Chains A and B, each alone.
Chain A
């Protein structure tokens, strides 16, 4: 019996390895969201470029739209900006930014420097709306349909490939 005591560390380590192996296989870009096919959380936020203009979720009802969560402090957002800019030119749907836990000055300066693909950016200084959307990290991208349901969520920087294979086909399907 006492001999088995010495095998205990090995056992614990085995469990740890199982978890780590599973963690490796999880694609961090492919996070199943409990919000898929659920209504997008309601929000009313001021625009980044104009504090006096408020946008609400229901303003966008009846339209398919894309929400991209970004921040000036986010390194990875810089990576996805070129593909977003290309996408914005031919998307055919509103591309809305959610400027997450940022300051107005830094957010605006960042858009000026790296380009602004958004039809509008919402200013979410406290991150409350981001939390409602279940944001884990920045950047994240959501596709929301005409009825206001979240249909797709992508975590991490958007690649041109993800836009072509995931977002565009979905937009096509939703727009019909």
Chain B
């Protein structure tokens, strides 16, 4: 009964989505207000229906209802409750339902926090989102129904993929999808603007907080995925450039470019058509990611079952959504106009350069991900480009980004003077070089790659300090507390996110260059030394988990004869699927992680044990967290939500809210 209810809810949601996609759009075209007003309640109704379906599916997981094929394939009675819930998005069909639920969540939020947006714009935007929802609902109902029945009902389920049985994996997909789907809001705004043909300066302001919020979620999602790979895969890596990771990284790069180009569009009215294009690209890449991961095109031979019907549907959907919006863009964008002019040296030009770099980076990841597929399609055989390609392409692109990150925020809008900027940043430049070399010297070895990375990190941090000093230092006549409070949240958010990049670059450079690792054979009682720490295998024991059996090693770590910690790495075998899994044991620290994972058992009771000391590895995720918080801080600015009945011209003169804008020259920003 309950699955049928869920399916009915999805069918009704499809009907509502079609109404939401058509009537408000027609209403906006004909000035029919009642039809436009339908957009909000339609979004709410759709959200209720989809959420109901989601809750019903989750309920079936909780109750171990194996009469549902999807539950039987991804759950098991001995699976702990948290993982049974995670099972809801542990497979293809449920992931889609999660995707859709998130989309509805964003729609609901947009319907709620949109008092300041004129009705026609809102109607068009929600209509576009309605079409996206309709497409996904059709996809689910036609090819991937999570509520399919299974006859006869099996006594127990097939269990959740053990790789996914990890706390990080429980929240990683929802956060990632929040980010992916969040870009649909920016996309809908862009397409609505193209349909309406009107791109006032307000437009960028409406779009900005949504984009920042989606970007924050995506950052968190990628962070968790990376942390999961680090702790579960057992080889201590944190990024593997595999197609599934790249699928989440490409929208992130496009989204980062979008955030920066939006700043210019909002402040200066420039880059309009470019911003629209980036909004389309960011969401298109989210869809493409879904296609690549779900259709089995990329990982065909290995993990996923190939279902050509699904792949074809997503491809057609991609063509309609992306092709349609790009067609609209080709038709309408030429009318959008160029916006305010700027000099070759100005904050605009630097942000433009930033955009170019990010788009090139995104394109090279896309190329590296699709290249094997393209060669294959052309009949030239299958190859794979691995980390060597990406490392070679990425570092040269990110070095100038880091340099600009220091200079850009200090440059004036419209026209900046290079000598003046150089003068203001001379201390930052000197300090960063000394700090980079000093850190290398302290770590024991100075290499070119590490020095470059450390310099980037120090340069960003030092220029942020310079920026803050000029904003808050004695040059500012206001009392200190007022100065701090006068700092707009978007500016704080930007500084925090940039500082996060500095922390990230520092962590990456330290780990890449100075990590030490050792593979050793150990019997009980044996010791090995890594980076001044002595690891002693004290014992082995069998442990039974709720749905797995494991061998657990007890490894005591001492430093200069003082105990540091006791690590318990495990080798698990999940009972239902018989899959072996490595569970690394990690002693986290601010300055280093001690990482131990069990390799293979050898004859005579010995084990291969992998021991790593990873300096500052947590700074990588700490940096990502700061970026995400920075995005959230920027999105939370109250001024984005305030009703602003002013005309575009007066809004420009006030130049509020002051996101990513220096204290310098607010007056000069008026055209």
Whether chain B is bound by chain A comes out as yes
Interface of A with B (CB < 8 Å)?
2-3, 6-7, 9-10, 13-14, 16-17, 19-26, 28, 31, 34, 74-76, 78, 103, 105-106, 113, 136-137, 155-156
Minimum distance in angstroms from B307 CB to a CB of chain A: 10
Cross-chain contact B322 with A156 (CB below 8 angstroms): no
- Residues in B whose Cβ lies below 8 Å from that of A16: 370
- Residues in B whose Cβ lies below 8 Å from that of A34: 381
- Residues in B whose Cβ lies below 8 Å from that of A113: 578
Cross-chain contact B302 with A76 (CB below 8 angstroms): yes
**A105 to B608 CA separation, bound complex (whole angstroms):** 11
The chain B residue with its CB closest to the CB of A139 is B301
Other-chain residue from A19, A105, A156 in contact with B370 (beta carbon distance below 8 A)? A19
Interface of B with A (CB < 8 Å)?
273, 277, 280-281, 284, 291, 295-297, 300-303, 306, 308, 311-312, 315, 318-319, 322-323, 326-327, 329-330, 333-334, 370, 373-374, 376-377, 381-382, 578, 580, 600-602
Known contacts: A3-B334, A103-B600, A105-B600. The answer to whether A24 contacts B311 by CB under 8 A is: yes
- Residues in B whose Cβ lies below 8 Å from that of A6: 273, 329-330, 333-334
Cross-chain contact A20 with B315 (CB below 8 angstroms): yes
Main secondary structure of the interface of A (DSSP, over half): helix
The chain A residue with its CB closest to the CB of B379 is A32
The chain B residue with its CB closest to the CB of A4 is B330
| Extra pairs beyond A2-B334, A10-B327, A24-B315 (4, CB < 8 Å) | A20-B318, A23-B377, A28-B301, A103-B600
Cross-chain contact A136 with B315 (CB below 8 angstroms): no
Main secondary structure of the interface of B (DSSP, over half): helix
Taking each of A16, A19, A24, A76, which has the highest tally of chain B beta carbons within 10 Å of its own beta carbon?
Answer: A24
Cross-chain contact A7 with B330 (CB below 8 angstroms): yes
Cross-chain contact B301 with A24 (CB below 8 angstroms): no
Q: What are 25 A-B residue pairs whose CB atoms fall within 8 Å in the complex?
A: A2-B334, A9-B326, A9-B329, A10-B323, A10-B327, A10-B329, A13-B323, A19-B374, A19-B377, A20-B318, A20-B377, A23-B297, A23-B376, A24-B297, A24-B308, A24-B311, A28-B296, A28-B300, A28-B306, A34-B381, A103-B600, A105-B600, A105-B602, A136-B301, A137-B301
**A129 to B377 CA separation, bound complex (whole angstroms):** 26
Cross-chain contact A23 with B334 (CB below 8 angstroms): no
**A105 to B327 CA separation, bound complex (whole angstroms):** 57
- Residues in A whose Cβ lies below 8 Å from that of B302: 74-76, 137
The chain A residue with its CB closest to the CB of B330 is A7
- Residues in A whose Cβ lies below 8 Å from that of B319: 17
Minimum distance in angstroms from B299 CB to a CB of chain A: 9
The chain B residue with its CB closest to the CB of A137 is B301
The chain B residue with its CB closest to the CB of A26 is B376
**A105 to B580 CA separation, bound complex (whole angstroms):** 13
Minimum distance in angstroms from B632 CB to a CB of chain A: 30
- Residues in A whose Cβ lies below 8 Å from that of B311: 24
- Residues in B whose Cβ lies below 8 Å from that of A7: 330
Other-chain residue from B326, B333, B373, B580 in contact with A13 (beta carbon distance below 8 A)? B326
Cross-chain contact A10 with B330 (CB below 8 angstroms): yes
- Residues in A whose Cβ lies below 8 Å from that of B280: 9
- Residues in B whose Cβ lies below 8 Å from that of A25: 308
- Residues in B whose Cβ lies below 8 Å from that of A19: 370, 373-374, 377
The chain B residue with its CB closest to the CB of A12 is B326
Cross-chain contact B334 with A26 (CB below 8 angstroms): no
Taking each of B280, B330, B602, which has the highest tally of chain A beta carbons within 10 Å of its own beta carbon?
Answer: B330
Ordered nearest first, which 7 A-B pairs have the shortest CB separation? A28-B300, A137-B301, A22-B377, A7-B330, A10-B326, A6-B333, A24-B311
- Residues in B whose Cβ lies below 8 Å from that of A24: 295, 297, 308, 311-312, 315
- Residues in A whose Cβ lies below 8 Å from that of B580: 106
- Residues in A whose Cβ lies below 8 Å from that of B315: 17, 20-21, 24
Minimum distance in angstroms from A1 CB to a CB of chain B: 11
Other-chain residue from A2, A20, A105 in contact with B291 (beta carbon distance below 8 A)? A20
**A1 to B381 CA separation, bound complex (whole angstroms):** 39
Minimum distance in angstroms from B618 CB to a CB of chain A: 29
Cross-chain contact A17 with B318 (CB below 8 angstroms): yes
